[in-house]
Chain A
Amino acid sequence: MLRDFSFVLIFILLSFLLCFLVFVVPWVIAPRSKGVKAQDIYECGVDPFGSAWVRYFAPFYLYALIFVAFDVDVLYLFPVALGYWREGGSDRFLVLLIFLAFLVFPLAYAWRKGVFWWRP
């Protein structure tokens, strides 16, 4: 089991190294541009107009909420898929189905309520 974790450790170290290199190598070898606008926000070539600190449009929040919920659910399903392949069984399948049912009911509710269509 320690051997499995050593793979994980090597993976973590390599990913840190890659991220480090991606930041450091351009810092060393890339030319830099000077200029007044170089660090400004890009908005089609003109200065941004008005403020960005406005009150949120509520449906955006709903979208984000639903996305996060289902994303986390899918995250749980990945190890379930791996574990299920190793130790299958019909009772475990039933448990999985119940879990999926808990996911589908809120989705159906949201769909029925019309969250997925833009309305002013």
Chain B
Amino acid sequence: MVEAVGPRVKLGVLEEFLNLARANSLWPMTFGLACCAIEMMATVAARFDLARFGAEVMRPSPRQCDFMIVSGTITKKIAPVVRTLYEQMASPKWVVAYGNCAISGGPFVFEGQYNVIEGVDKVIPVDVYVPGCPPRPEALLEALLKLQEKLTGVRRFPGPERRW
């Protein structure tokens, strides 16, 4: 697995501040492969609006984005491409496995299957898993909030489990 090397000096409090800044401006990379890509596009559209949580622009180039939403089935042909794109992203970077296919191959795993890789975490390290086929756009918003919680340690909006 590719690992990132940490900064050259120990940062202390600055690290928290930097993480807060990073968490509130996470820019996703458009890596829509299959059906889940449509729900990802719907999340960016006006009704569910990913931009209000900081994920303002979806950049197609890996050099300009922070995290990668892997939405769709990983086949043997696309796996090296996923790997290359992940390595070309600049650190710090995170990955969200969106949809059942990215988590574990989804509905395309059967006896004698020859082309599907069962889960994108066999290719790149994943931070947040979003189950569903396809997951609702609200699930992607929750994934972004969980990723922000992973960075800053503080959950920004209370989830359903904390409401009562």
Q: Which residues of A does B touch, CB under 8 Å?
A: 27-38, 40, 42, 44-47
Contacts and interface: CB of A to CB of B under 8 A. Distances in A.
A42 B7 contact: no
Contact of A34 (B4, B61, B81, B83): B4
Summarize A's interface: helix, strand, loop or mixed: loop
Contact of A40 (B6, B86, B88, B90): B88
A99 to B, nearest CB: 41
A37 B89 CA distance: 10
Contacts of B92: 31
Interface string B77-99: 00011111111111111000000
A75 B8 CA distance: 42
Contacts of B13: none
A35 to B, nearest CB: 3
A44 to B, nearest CB: 8
Of A30, A35, A44, most B-chain CB atoms within 10 Å: A35
B7 A45 contact: no
A30 B7 CA distance: 5
A28 B85 contact: no
B81 A38 contact: no
B84 A31 contact: no
B14 A34 contact: no
A32 B87 CA distance: 11
